[in-house]
Amino acid sequence: MQADPWKQEDLDPQTRAFYCRVLTILNAAQLPYLVGGAYAFERYTGIARHTKDLDLFVRQADYDRVMAALEAEGYRTELTFSHWLGKAYAEDAFIDVIFRSGNGVSEVNDGWFEHAVDAEVLGIPAKLCAVEDILWTKIFIMERERYDGADVAHLLRACAEGMDWRYLVQEVEPHYRVLLSHLILFGFIYPGERNKIPANVMRYLLGRVQRELGQPAPSIKLCQGSILSREQYLIDLHEWGYEDARSEPRGNMSPEEIEEWTRAINEKE
């Protein structure tokens, strides 16, 4: 893994000081968190993407304590979306505090911390999200204005040979077709590197498709497209009568959370 990619000149002094202070506060309080987002992506791939925030991942059970610790130091906080995301602010700078993906599928749990990677962030000891967990969230991002397929391919190119594939495949269940679609595309994008994906993983996932070919399709009118894009499948849900795969009890989101997330489409959070 590369050295800390954020150089002094990459952040203005106030933002850098804010990020460092947040990490120091959480470390001192022994509150568990993981660094992800563009920072972790660069550490794994070498691809720089200087965004305006720092992404911290926490268990939902720890969220209130994390925000309380930051509020006690004078930072303004908010629960931006009740099902997955909060923010902490220092004037124009902010951090995202994330406990689930926006589609409700991938929740930060103990496994994320068991697979986390020790690192230094801005010179401060911290743990990074494992590449498997970053992939677990990115494979589902297929919005009209944002598609993370290239990020997935670049992470696989850099890390596939050392990944815990059993862990990733277990996480992705029962959405294995989404992972398989990215693995097939990887072999198209990098034909000379397709063997970085273990053959037994491909055989297992393709075998599942093969077995399904001999079985009747389930008798349900379900649209799982809403897991991939909160906007592009609204016609399926609102006009064509499909069940929303995000909705409880099949999914992890309440009707109120889905409505809140849909209303925010124009904000493009």
pLDDT tens for each residue of 200-259: 999 999 999 999 998 999 999 999 999 999 999 999 999 999 999 999 999 999 999 999
Assigned token pair, 78: 């908010």
- Output the average pLDDT for the chain: 94
Res 50: pLDDT: 72
Q: Domain count for the chain, please give it.
A: 3
Q: Do 124 and 16 belong together in one domain?
A: yes
Question: Strand runs (DSSP E) across 142-221, as ranges?
Answer: none
Residues 197 and 259 in one domain: no
Which of 79, 94, 129 corresponds to the end of one domain? Answer: 129
Residues 40 and 123 in one domain: yes
In this structure, the answer to whether residues 80 and 51 fall within a common structural domain is yes
What pLDDT score was predicted for residue 266?
80
Q: pLDDT tens digits for 246-267?
A: 999 999 999 999 999 999 998 7
Question: Per-residue confidence at 131, pLDDT binned at 50, 70, 90?
Answer: very high
Residue 49 has a pLDDT of: 79
Q: Are both 30 and 69 inside the same structural domain?
A: yes
93-98 and 53-57 beta bridge pairing? parallel
Greatest mean pLDDT among 1-10, 46-55, 81-90: 81-90
Q: Are residues 94 and 169 in the same domain?
A: no
Q: Which long-range contacts (CB under 8 A, 24 or more apart) does 127-131 make?
A: 127/33, 127/34, 127/35, 128/34, 128/35, 128/36, 128/39, 128/40, 128/43, 129/34, 129/35, 129/36, 129/40, 129/57, 130/164, 131/44, 131/155, 131/159, 131/163
CA distance 38 to 107: 19
Residue 2 lies in a domain: no
User: Do 100 and 163 reside in the same domain of the chain?
Assistant: no
- At 8, the pLDDT band (50, 70, 90 cuts) reads very low
